[in-house]
Structure 1
């Protein structure tokens, strides 16, 4: 994520403006969290609240205490969006965000917010997605805590002025890492805390002011962010805006220096068009299809567990989840037998009763997923309940390649299987379609792995596992092919591989939460170089002293 104007890429994150104006009930898909109030405009920035309102208040219903920020009365800022953006720009132009000490202090406050309000965020994620505690900690809260530690451990190195070679004799060329200015970060609903706040930390580190717009679909998490961020971070530099389509439309009319959007391609096009007006640099983190190839050389139990884990975390509502499987008919039959056993082991006879599976975020998405079942024959699962926002883990076979389940991003617990003869046919099938967002290859054959890596353009790839390529903090999805290689033997080596699979346990949560970034550190070569330098200096000093004393004795 590039939030600094230099060849160096800085991870950055942002804080958003709370814009508490409701959406007309005729157009909103989700109940409004906010009290009735007319939407302001530049001509009428402070409309009369006594005028008749089209909106009806809709209190948030949650099982949590009134101390939680998403219970009832949310923070109310009486500023329309353009004034909040202007205030953020004024703070940036005044130089408030530029000092390294200010950035460090704000990042420390951000980490403190995550630690002190861990349970509030976990409760919000339960309210929005019924997210299991281990997934919420591993993919959201702990991930953000560790990201702040990662940045703080490297901030001094990132902001350092860099000297580079110059072609002009006796000339000195320097690179200054300079922030863009006022950044807009727009989060997504599937990982509503991580995908909103992860870019915020990097943006702060780069010295930007940030306007934060969480997704209104995950209403409880958006409300928690809106309430807590102003309590810990500078209110003018990092405001939060909440709301739906009308609020977002008004916000995109403002001029930003950088826009970072995560979400659907449809909305991404709207964000792009808004950015074009001012030629604003923009990062669009959109979706796509992520194929998974399996050959007959793998241990199927290990492969099935890793594929199903990657598919079913967040109940499939993950942009880089395995989207469909490519394998031979023989491998398909073995996978189906193994998958049934794994699902029974993880979730019991009735997966709907399992506490280790999320729920679909909205009823309309359950209806959308149900329509995908017509694209093939249900081999596993297939049951759903619209009212409960539930669909059980489902595998389809005999899938029509032109059906919606194969042409649209699934974003749910449906896994189609397409039969191919071999890895060559699989590569040909993938390359006939849009470039994959992620690629997963399960094979012990190095030459086959290499063929996929060389011949399939994609945003990221993981060999013999899923999801792990996004865990790397040194490469970027959609920029270069990032390929962590994971082999079956590693499942007994690292705590993560022992505890990531359901059924989730408290010991697993504690173990995974204890894994922290320790910083780059100087390393063994650094200490070796320092030792050699000191020994050389001592030896040179001793030699000079000997020569001086010897010369003095000769003269005497």
Structure 2
């Protein structure tokens, strides 16, 4: 925590719920004034379509703001719980206490939403915050800096711009909580830095999200939903379907449906479509371009380095082999793609699907298109993953009443709605003991009390 943050927090202003709500309302009004500028900044950073910004960034932030403004007061109240008979007579309560100073390190792929959503919750819970936006989206970071300066006093919320070295310097400081969104590789670095000070963390990471389609799925509707989830933000979404596992008998029909839907959504030349974003920078463009080498391209594959453009691309990866060693897989099947490339694997037996998915670390999301109840229950009960959807993709993120987060290598902790408020609050347990009576059974000397204690403990 910086000295400025410490001084501000020690004044106790953020412990006042009305002070928090006042700033959240002010933030909402300022965001509405900056709405067009935010959309323009995202378009300049990587040609993100205005509609996608409104849907996947601005709307989500507004919904979080409305929820936290409405519920902040009630969520912050002490909660009574049933007291223990051991403590008779007493009252037991759980108090929501702010952690203190929060460090929020945000990614580039949703550079507005993934700054604002955790910030709003941190403020609602009574904390101060320092934000480190991504240096890869400088236009969005610049707008965020103006918004923060207009809404919050210095020391309440501060925004720090810079590259990875700035992030490293921030991580060397002592914080009361760290909220990080990004890759699993960097997440491990953040976790290691936090461990030096025993700082609690939320890590929102990623993984190889499988999407399973069996012969009972409605193919045209499935293709429509899969294509949307893959082309939003040009595939640069942590919960996008990473690869498809398609039952052998429906492979050809599904591939035709996917191609038809891509042409319907973006036209015959996606590069000319105003509804398709670009890859964030040349480094990521080259990484994605390399994944296409020596692969069987069924659709797309076009690219333009000058625009960091890669067309939505479908790859035929053949029949899955659950016995193949992980290091023998082509690179496109090893790491999270994070781009508009969709490998398609075919399977014969449903038993092979689970073995294949379990080759990888636990994914952030799993998607299943099927009417088969037995298969649905098998996926739900036997696979470990952060969250998922049956017969759709990505939409688990859109319900603020559902906690969002990964498990294992795909993340630690969760947030959204009340889950966000709880994430940034310490549950302080208190027992208020009465003084009008004091039962003698717990005090020494203990002679002759053991039998009484054993008779009474069944009521505890």
For Structure 1 versus Structure 2, the TM-score category normalised by the shorter chain is 0.7 to 0.9
Q: CA deviation at 1:479?
A: 6.1
1:410-452 CA-partner distances (Å, limit 9, x unpaired): 0000000111113322122112321111000000111211111
1:247-277 CA-partner distances (Å, limit 9, x unpaired): 2222122111000000112221221222122
1:137-165 CA-partner distances (Å, limit 9, x unpaired): 01111211111001111112210111111
Q: SS at the partner of 2:142?
A: helix
The answer to which of 239-248 and 197-206 deviates more is 239-248
Identify unmatched segments of 5+ residues in structure 2. Answer: 321-327, 408-416, 418-460
Residue 68 (structure 2) pairs with residue 151 (structure 1): yes
Q: CA deviation at 1:457?
A: 0.7
Which of 150, 174, 190 is equivalent to 1:255? 174
Distance in 2 (CA, whole Å) between partners of 1:423 and 1:117 is 50
Q: CA deviation at 1:214?
A: 0.6
1:446-500 CA-partner distances (Å, limit 9, x unpaired): 12111110111100010000001112222323368xxxxxxxxxxxxxxxxxxxx
Distance in 2 (CA, whole Å) between partners of 1:236 and 1:111 is 20
Residue 22 (structure 2) pairs with residue 105 (structure 1): yes
Distance in 1 (CA, whole Å) between partners of 2:31 and 2:277 is 22
Distance in 2 (CA, whole Å) between partners of 1:253 and 1:358 is 35
The answer to which of 366-375 and 313-322 deviates more is 366-375
1:494-536 CA-partner distances (Å, limit 9, x unpaired): xxxxxxxxxxxxxxxxxxxxxxx9xxxxxxxxxxxxxxxxxxx
Q: CA deviation at 1:96?
A: 1.4
Residue 123 (structure 2) pairs with residue 199 (structure 1): no
Q: SS at the partner of 1:177?
A: strand
Q: Is the 8 A contact 1:114 1:144 kept in 2?
A: no
Q: Is the 8 A contact 2:204 2:406 kept in 1?
A: no
Q: SS at the partner of 2:212?
A: strand
Distance in 1 (CA, whole Å) between partners of 2:317 and 2:339 is 19
Q: SS at the partner of 2:157?
A: coil
Q: Is the 8 A contact 1:188 1:263 kept in 2?
A: yes
Identify unmatched segments of 5+ residues in structure 1. Answer: 1-81, 481-516, 518-556
Larger Rg: 1
Instruction: Kindly report which structure 2 residues correspond to 1:272-421, keeping only aligned pairs within 5 A, or say none.
Output: 272-374=191-293, 376-398=295-317, 402-421=329-348
Structure 1 match to 2:100: 181
Structure 1 match to 2:393: 466
Q: SS at the partner of 1:326?
A: strand
Structure 2 match to 1:94: 11
Q: CA deviation at 1:329?
A: 2.8
- The alpha-carbon distance between structure 1 residues 375 and 433, as it changes in their structure 2 partners (threshold 3 A), is farther
Structure 1 match to 2:366: 439
Distance in 1 (CA, whole Å) between partners of 2:264 and 2:164 is 43
Structure 2 match to 1:62: none
Q: Is the 8 A contact 1:375 1:405 kept in 2?
A: no
Distance in 2 (CA, whole Å) between partners of 1:323 and 1:245 is 27
Provide the aligned length of Structure 1 versus Structure 2.
Answer: 399
Distance in 1 (CA, whole Å) between partners of 2:406 and 2:39 is 32
1:363-398 CA-partner distances (Å, limit 9, x unpaired): 111110011113631111111111111000100003
Distance in 2 (CA, whole Å) between partners of 1:356 and 1:479 is 29
Structure 1 match to 2:457: none
Distance in 1 (CA, whole Å) between partners of 2:399 and 2:70 is 16
Instruction: Kindly report which structure 2 residues correspond to 1:65-80, keeping only aligned pairs within 5 A, or say none.
Output: none
Q: Is the 8 A contact 2:385 2:406 kept in 1?
A: no
**Greater RCO, 1 or 2 (C-alpha within 8 Å, sep 6+):** 2
Which of 402, 410, 414 is equivalent to 1:475? 402
Instruction: Kindly report which structure 2 residues correspond to 1:30-41, keeping only aligned pairs within 5 A, or say none.
Output: none
TM-score, structure 1 as length reference: 0.70
Q: Is the 8 A contact 1:375 1:403 kept in 2?
A: no
Distance in 2 (CA, whole Å) between partners of 1:460 and 1:190 is 20
Distance in 1 (CA, whole Å) between partners of 2:349 and 2:230 is 23
Q: SS at the partner of 1:172?
A: strand
Q: CA deviation at 1:205?
A: 0.6
- The alpha-carbon distance between structure 1 residues 407 and 479, as it changes in their structure 2 partners (threshold 3 A), is closer
Distance in 2 (CA, whole Å) between partners of 1:246 and 1:367 is 23
Structure 1 match to 2:49: 132
Q: SS at the partner of 2:96?
A: coil
Q: RMSD of the TM alignment (CA)? A: 1.6
**TM superposition outliers: structure 1 runs of 4+ over 2 Å:** 398-401, 477-480
Distance in 2 (CA, whole Å) between partners of 1:363 and 1:222 is 19
Residue 131 (structure 2) pairs with residue 212 (structure 1): yes
Distance in 2 (CA, whole Å) between partners of 1:342 and 1:246 is 43
TM-score, structure 2 as length reference: 0.84
Q: SS at the partner of 2:58?
A: helix
Higher percent of residues as strand: 2
Instruction: Kindly report which structure 2 residues correspond to 1:515-534, keeping only aligned pairs within 5 A, or say none.
Output: none
- The alpha-carbon distance between structure 1 residues 221 and 125, as it changes in their structure 2 partners (threshold 3 A), is same
Q: SS at the partner of 1:436?
A: coil
